[in-house]
Structure 1
Amino acid sequence: MTATAPTAPGKLGDALEPAVIQRYLGDLDEWIRDRRIELDNVDQTAVSAGRGNEIGSDMALALALWKAISDRYQLVFATWDGGRVLQQERERISALVWGRLDGAAEMPGGLAVSMPEACRLCDALTGQLQARLELAPDALASAGRISALRAQLERIRDQVGLEPVNTRDAAVQRLAEMMLRLDSISARAERGADVGGLLAPLEVDATTFERDLIVGNARRRDARDQILSTRELRTDLEQRAAALQKLAATCVATVDPAPRYAVPEVDALGPVPVTEDAIGPYRERLDRVSQAMELAQHKYSDALNEHTELVALLDAYVAKAREIGLADHPDLADSEKSARAMLDRRPCPVVIARQLIATYQTWLQKESASR
């Protein structure tokens, strides 16, 4: 494998320096182009050798990763805009680099990873595919493969440190076993033994382990994000429910007939769960509550807006009558008085108020035509 993803600069929330962004974009663009060539080469070789089905799932995942990274690169490059970036744009670029890849939704299990994680995973998968097909440029150079494995195990060590307490010991044990295997292979290679048959299984095991760790960490992070966002949504719904109660009371006191929609009780849903299995259904219930609130809000707002529009309509007719000198006409004045009295009543019978305004309009049309 000749292409290795560049190290992503900064962290989420940083306002990256323009020179750092430019260098990273150049390196990433080169990596994306080289990686596509490598993946195409792997695919063509596998098909020619009749081994397409053997590597199909890993090849699909590698291509999905490459596509997600390429799509995100296009967004970062557009935001970069040739270097015309202020602090807001530089922070946005950091968020695009370190945020979750939306384009990764096509990967198995809806895997959500950051671009640096996706790059590392794509490197590991491509190296594994090349080794399985004996395409890697250093596939026969044991020293190079041993060096690459040591670097991979160091990356795995960093990932193991992110494991939760209940699974970390098992991950540490698995990593230790792989390091012992590598030390044994390295010692045999130094004595001149052919270790090609021992390296390939360890490469596959290390790549699988690294992939599992990255995927597991991404899913845990996604679960944490879901819990946090669900808590924020619940808090927002509680605030909306209180405001909706006031809106409903105002509407019922202002117009007749008024809509009659119950304001959902957010407390009835119980506390936000903290398990991955329960958070999804709970979020769906919150979404249904949000939709019910939105419907009720629209109905109450529409009823109040209708009353406001009737007042504005009467004002417009009166202004027109005043403009042509008919505002003080006895019939028009009495009609306006009746309409305003009805609009001021609480609750206001909207149907009757509308009829009285129509009566004022009719008087205005009649007197205007007779002049």
Structure 2
Amino acid sequence: MTPRYAVTPPAPGSLGSDVPDRELLRYLDALIRWKDERRAELDRLDQAALGLEDPAERAAVTPDVTLSMTLWQAVSDRVALILATWDSGRVGEAERRRITTLVWGSLEQPGSRGAGQALAVSLPEACRLSDSLASSLRSRLRLDGADPRAADRLVDLRQQLARIADQVALIPESRRASAAEVHALLERRVEDVAERVRRGGDVGGFLGPLEAEAATTERDLIVAASARAHAKADRAQATREVDELAARGQAVRALAERARAEVRPAPRLGVPDVTALGPVPSDPDGLTAYLYRLARVERALTQAHGEYAAALARRDDLAERARRVHAALTADEGASVAMGSLAEQTREALEARPTDLTRLEALVQAQETFARTMGMSL
């Protein structure tokens, strides 16, 4: 049965492993669908949250809406790096290993090391956390069409409990008792609701709070797992970060080459090579200094990624604006004739490689100004 909402696709391989091209392609296709569907759903949830009349209710859901948007952006940024490495399937073993490193490596943002709210989660974990938050928000906001039959909701809850059990198993045994107790209590409540359903009882008032608590529990466990990851800042962790940053660096360099080939002016930022830092030291003082330098590499990579991606996004935005204004002008024969030369120049500018963004923007703005002067809606 096709899921009602975006569900995280199973990720292939493990950190740095080699995965066959077809398996990677299936995952990338599913991940892109997940990303697009989740973005559309988050837009609906955001609008529903903004539409709440009670300020207290709106304030209660705003943090989860914000976190959901932040998670989606982190996933979207990582997907862009993966696609740059994938390069339309032109990959060998080294590129495939970099892709699985990007999939299973940490999405932790530069500058967040040591911060209480840092999320050192992998791409699949971020997607599952997004699923959990979206489920909670759907329940709390009662978005139209977001309230499936009780049986379907129970299936979703049982799947969520299985994920919670997996997270509980990751907690050190000496500190696992309280989380295991929460999981057991949720299981008993789910079975109680299931029994009420079997008897034909109304469970509408039970499912919403239960879904919200399960979603909160899963989120907290993922965040706790992230905090434990921060506590293991040892040589093995640093070595793993080097591998991740090396893969990110390769992907950002591919993105930079694409931007320089496709748009002008393009950023001229350098993309640091983490291997230039040398081997990871084993002594504590040396490791502390090394981790500081790693953080600087992270910041530089993120800045380069953002600026090169923004240059390409600017070209895409101008292309969409050109499409809209062309459609508006084409609908008016007189306007179409008057703007014919500008429209042709815009088409040529879009097709040129590298695309002159300054000239393209001027051409698009000229047509938009004319269209608005003529009273056209863009």
Normalised to the residue count of structure 1, the TM-score between the two structures is 0.61
- The reply on whether 1:23 has 2:30 as its aligned counterpart is no
Letter in 1 for 2:6: A
Change (3 A) 1:44 1:108: farther
Superposed CA deviations along residues 162-220 of structure 1, whole A, max 9, x for unmatched, are: 01112212211111111011101110111111111111111111111111111111221
Equivalent residues in 2 for 1:124-273 (5 A)?
124-135=132-143, 137=145, 139-224=147-232, 226-228=233-235, 272=284
SS in 2 for 1:100: coil
Q: Which has the larger radius of gyration?
A: 1
Residues 18 and 59 from structure 1, CA distance in 2 versus in 1: closer, same or farther, beyond 3 angstroms? same
Report the CA distance between 1:104 and its aligned residue.
8.3
Is the CA contact 1:100–1:114 (under 8 Å) kept in the aligned structure 2?
yes
Instruction: Report if the CA contact (8 A) 2:108-2:118 is conserved.
Output: no
CA contact under 8 A between 1:140 and 1:196: conserved in structure 2? no
After superposition, what is the alpha-carbon deviation per residue over 1:19-70, rounded to whole angstroms, capped at 9, x for unaligned?
0111111111111111011000011112122353231100111111000000
Contact 1:9 1:24 in 2 (8 A): yes
Equivalent position amino acid for 2:288 in 1: R
Moved over 2 A (4+): 49-54, 102-108, 227-232, 282-288
Structure 1 counterpart of 2:45, from 42, 47, 51: 42
Question: Counterpart in 1 of 2:77?
Answer: 71
Displacement of 1:126 after TM fit?
0.5
Mapped pair 1:97 → 2:103: yes
Deviations 1:231-253 (A, max 9, x none): 98xxxxxxxxxxxxxxxxxxxxx
Q: TM-score when scaled to structure 2?
A: 0.60
Q: Distance in 2 between matches of 1:167 and 1:11?
A: 27
Unaligned runs of 5+ in 2: 240-282, 294-378
How far has the Cα of 1:111 moved from its partner? 1.3
**1:81 paired to 2:84:** no
Indicate conservation of the 8 Å contact 2:119/2:226, yes or no. yes
2:126 paired with 1:121: no
Instruction: Indicate yes or no: 2:12 matched with 1:9.
Output: yes
Q: Residue 59 of structure 2: SS of its match in structure 1?
A: coil
Structure 1 stretches of 5 or more lacking a match? 233-270, 273-278, 289-371
Of the structure 1 ranges 138-147 and 67-76, higher mean CA displacement relative to structure 2 is found in 138-147
Structure 1, 100-109 or 215-224: larger mean CA deviation: 100-109
Q: Distance in 2 between matches of 1:97 and 1:135?
A: 31
Q: Which amino acid aligns with 1:37?
A: A
* Residue identity in the other structure for 2:40: I
Between the aligned partners of 2:26 and 2:125, the Cα distance in structure 1 is: 19
Return the alpha-carbon distance in structure 2 between the equivalents of residues 209 and 136 of structure 1: 25
The answer to whether the 8 Å contact 2:133/2:215 transfers is yes
Structural RMSD (CA): 2.7
Instruction: Write the distance in 1 (CA, Å) between the matches of 2:94 and 2:206.
Output: 51
- How much has 1:108 moved relative to structure 2? 6.7
Cα drift, residue 15 of structure 1 = 0.8
Question: Deviation string for 1:48-97 (max 9, x for gaps)?
Answer: 22353231100111111000000000000010001110100000000000
Alignment: residue pair count: 243
- Amino acid aligned to 1:129: L
Query: Compared with structure 1, are the counterparts of its residues 115 and 4 closer, same or farther at alpha carbon in structure 2 (3 Å cutoff)?
Result: same
Given residue 92 of structure 1, which amino acid in structure 2 is its aligned partner?
R
What's the offset of the Cα at 1:227?
2.2
Amino acid at match of 2:118: G
How far 1:12 moved relative to its partner? Answer: 0.8
Query: Following TM superposition, by how much is the alpha carbon of 1:105 offset from its aligned partner in structure 2, in angstroms?
Result: 6.7
Cα distance in structure 2, aligned partners of 1:286 and 1:76:
25
Q: Within 2, Cα distance between the matches of 1:217 and 1:141?
A: 33
Q: Supply the AA of the counterpart residue of 1:150.
A: R
Secondary structure, aligned partner of 1:32: helix
- Cα distance in 1, alignment partners of residues 78 and 291 from structure 2: 31
| C-alpha distance in 2 between matches for 1:25 and 1:116 | 12
Q: Take 2:184 and 2:107, find their aligned partners in 1: how far apart are those partners?
A: 32
